[in-house]
Structure 1
Amino acid sequence: MANLIVLGAQWGDEGKGKIVDLFSESFDLVVRYQGGHNAGHTVYIGEKKFVLKLIPSGILRPGVKAVIGNGVVIDPAALMDEIGQLESAGIDVRSQLLISNRAHVIFPFHRMVEKVGEAREDRVAIGTTSRGIGPCYEDKIGRRGIRMADLVSPQGFEQMYRMLCEDKMTLATAFRVSEVIDFNKILEQYRQFTEKLRPMVCDSASYVNRAILDGKKVMFEGAQGTMLDIDHGTYPFVTSSNASAGGACTGAGVPPTRIDGIIGVSKAYITRVGAGPFPSEIHGEQGDQIRKAGNEFGSVTGRPRRCGWFDVPLLRYTATINGFDSMIITKLDVLDDLTEIPVCVGYEIDGKAITDMPATNEEVSKIVPVYETLPGWKSPTKGITDLNQIPKAAMDYLKFLEKQTGVEVGCVSNGPERNETIIVPGSKLAALLA
């Protein structure tokens, strides 16, 4: 059994929550390394549905330690709400959850800052969830942020908090924000959060590294997807953290030499939430059909996701950035009713084929996708647990994706339940999980 990174190979919402939950049975620790409570992982266990926004999916496995790493930004109110929901479902959160003392803290005024930025007339709206994620990361990079270690410090927190409030009050005045913010009320509220969270706050990097040296098995869980990575995604329509594999090392505090395998999760098609270029997007009735069949609505926001055909050049790009050892294809069953399935196999701009992912939004928006159409299988795949029972046309589709992307398909998910998953015998993934 190896230490693995499991992350999104597209624009997020690929079904990572189910995969991490499924695999976590074989791991001792599951570590979330970036993002905030804008990224929801949905896990179905029987008739129970769990939407996890900050806490790693491993929390649903008794005895597995769930770690929120230093690269995550934490809204204590959202975290306390999530803890409460899990505890009401019988999950022993406080014995399993660890929170990095170096993770940065989101305050209500971060949401105000984000709303102001998105509403400016001279700015292209990114389509954020307005949960304060980006402004919190801004404070982190600006070296004025407040970390969990500061929050739980009886001496230093109030002084740091009031200094940060002064910055936000200045900003609110400059932008003529009419919203009234009661900074003293927020201070008292966060003091109450502190008393409940303090026992779970620790030096998580030291904890994880000691666990690895002791022979424990660790899975690192990414949020969002590679195409939303702040450096390598479709900038500026990206998130505010490194959602690619490199973010696991900085966001969890572990050296690259501790990582044994990198697994990319991809839908059998592709989706995107919010604004930004989307070369293989499907418009009209067929896009609505896939959205309905795949229940493509945000687990946190409820926003409808934009749907498109599988994008081979995009997957090749994210495989290059991350170094995927294996690929997991989810939601194969969503395509069951289609007679034909187009696959984007190339990009053209102004009639010329391009091989590299363009850096600018303007260039990506000009991409004309080149399609190859494969026959559908017109047969249900949902719930099949034996690879030999998958329809031949569906297997041909998977083999086509494997050949075109250069990454093996090591696992197929054909439903939301844990048991609706097939690990391909003899794959690299099967070896990494052995």
Structure 2
Amino acid sequence: MPASLVVGTQWGDEGKAKVIDFLSKDTDIIVRYQGGANAGHTVVVHGKKYVFHLVPSGVIYDQTICVIGNGVVLDPLFFIEECDRLQKEGFPVFDKLLLSDACHLLFPYHSQIDSARETTLSQEHKIGTTKKGIGICYADKMMRTGLRVGDLLDTSYQTRLKHLVDEKNRELDKLYGMPPVSYNDINEGLKFFLSKVKKNIINTAYYLDTELKKENEFFWKEPKVPV
């Protein structure tokens, strides 16, 4: 089946979203396969502006299924907020969206540590991060210490989450002198998140492999690729 890939090969903000929006109307499946909520783009439909961060903009087209892939780092409450906003604007997001069970979850301690690290760096060594915790969450993914969306389907995740929060709070306190994050708040947020998206969570790798063998048109959407 035909599949198209949109990649930015400069420093981000090259206008990828405009290209994707132009081509999406003829596409069956759009895949957001990495990145986080630090990326964003705007689409204008019939004179009205819509802003997207995590949800692929293809959700505005009736025939398009949107996939959040394994490589995305997902802020669960930010994601639900964006989905609910788009639902209120008339787009049936939860009916068209598939969420990878291997997608890593981004928590408040990621953004706290991101901000603290950036603040402590001298001016010449600052990264210029958006302080939303994207890089810190990816670091946890590489260290195999993060939580994934699929982990929430088994309540044993709460034990792992408590250990992670305790560990990150020690880092926040001892290294940066920052206040702790609340395990209870994070856990309640995850319960709410799961109540909204449980039916959307699947093995997207298997799903996409199956769909690639059919006569569908694909788009693979890359948020940012710096050179």
TM-score, normalized by length of structure 1? 0.50
- Could you tell me whether the CA contact under 8 Å between 1:35 and 1:73 is conserved in 2? yes
CA distance in 1, matches of 2:222, 2:23: 14
1:204 is the counterpart of 2:197: no
Q: How does 1:17-416 map to 2 (within 5 A)?
A: 17-122=17-122, 124-151=125-152, 153-224=153-224, 226=225, 228=226, 233=227
Describe the superposition over 1:99-139 as per-residue Cα deviations: whole angstroms up to 9, x where unpaired: 10001000011111101110114571111111111110010
Greater Rg, structure 1 or structure 2?
1
Relative to structure 1, the CA distance from residue 155 to residue 182 in structure 2 (aligned partners, 3 Å threshold; closer, same or farther) is closer
Q: CA deviation at 1:166?
A: 2.0
In structure 1, how many angstroms separate the alpha carbons of the residues matched to 2:105 and 2:180?
21
Q: Where has structure 1 moved over 3 Å in runs of 4 or more?
A: none
User: Structure 2 counterpart of 1:110, which letter?
Assistant: H
Q: Which amino acid aligns with 2:46?
A: G
Paired residue for 1:403?
Answer: none
Alpha-carbon distance, 1:157 to partner: 1.4
Q: Secondary structure at the match of 1:31?
A: strand
CA distance in 2, matches of 1:133, 1:176: 18
Q: Secondary structure at the match of 1:90?
A: coil
Q: Is the 8 Å Cα contact of residues 2 and 217 (structure 2) preserved in structure 1?
A: yes
Write out per-residue CA displacement over residues 234-287 of structure 1, whole angstroms, 9 at most, x where no aligned residue.
xxxxxxxxxxxxxxxxxxxxxxxxxxxxxxxxxxxxxxxxxxxxxxxxxxxxxx
CA root-mean-square deviation: 1.5
Q: Unmatched 5+ residue regions in structure 2?
A: none
Larger helix fraction of residues: 2
Paired with 2:178 and 2:68, the residues of 1 have a C-alpha distance of 35
d(CA) in 2 for partners of 1:121, 1:99: 36
Question: Which secondary structure state, in structure 1, belongs to the residue aligned with residue 50 of structure 2?
Answer: strand
Q: What SS is found at the alignment partner of 1:14?
A: coil
2:173–2:179 contact (8 Å) kept in structure 1: no
Amino acid in structure 2 at the alignment position of 1:36: G
Identical positions, percent: 35
Secondary structure at the counterpart of residue 7 of structure 2: strand
Deviation at 1:156, TM superposition (A): 2.2
1:189-237 CA distance string (max 9 Å, x none): 221111111111110111111111122111100102x3x2xxxx3xxxx
| Cα distance in 2 for residues equivalent to 1:3 and 1:165 | 40
**Aligned pairs, number:** 226
